[in-house]
């Protein structure tokens, strides 16, 4: 009986040691899992913050691209507007030049007509003078 008790006691002691070691390992494993979970949570937080920063950077980049596009469009529109104004100014200048040329042609025509009238008047005067001389000359001889 004593032998059986000793055997049982020995088995109980070994089992107790086994479960004590197992409990210790279980506690260590649980702490390790908790630490791993904490690290995982920190990593997730960092990832979320990183994603937020990335989204903010992308939004800022998009905004910058949008501003550059708008500025480029504004410059383009301004250039087109300036070109249109220049075209209108050139058209206006061309029309003024054509009007000036027309006026000049009218004046030249008037000068030519006046010169022709002067020449005709001079020719008439010369013919009249010649006739007058002829008449005087002829009348004096006859009288």
Question: Mind listing the pLDDT tens digit for each residue in 33-54?
Answer: 999 999 999 999 999 999 999 9
- The alpha carbon of 32 is separated from its chain's Cα centroid by a whole number of angstroms, namely 58
Question: What's the CA gap between 14 and 1, in Å, rounded?
Answer: 20
Return the DSSP state at 69. Answer: H
The length of the chain is 143
Report the SS3 class of residue 143: coil
User: At which residue do the structure tokens 């030249």 appear?
Assistant: 108
Question: Mind listing the pLDDT tens digit for each residue in 4-38?
Answer: 889 999 999 999 999 899 999 999 999 999 999 99
């Amino acid at each position: 009986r004593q032998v059986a008790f000793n055997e049982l006691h020995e088995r109980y002691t070994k089992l107790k040691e086994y479960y004590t070691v197992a409990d210790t390992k279980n506690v260590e494993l649980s702490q390790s899992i908790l630490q791993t979970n904490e690290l995982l949570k920190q990593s997730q937080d960092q990832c979320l913050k990183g994603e937020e920063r990335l989204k903010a950077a992308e939004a800022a980049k998009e905004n910058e691209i949008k501003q550059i596009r708008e500025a480029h469009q504004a410059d383009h529109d301004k250039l087109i507007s300036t070109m249109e104004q220049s075209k209108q100014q050139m058209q206006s200048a061309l029309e003024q030049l054509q009007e000036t040329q027309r006026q000049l042609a009218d004046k030249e025509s008037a000068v030519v007509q006046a010169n022709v009238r002067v020449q005709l008047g001079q020719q008439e005067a010369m013919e009249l003078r010649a006739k007058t001389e002829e008449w005087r000359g002829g009348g004096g001889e006859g009288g």
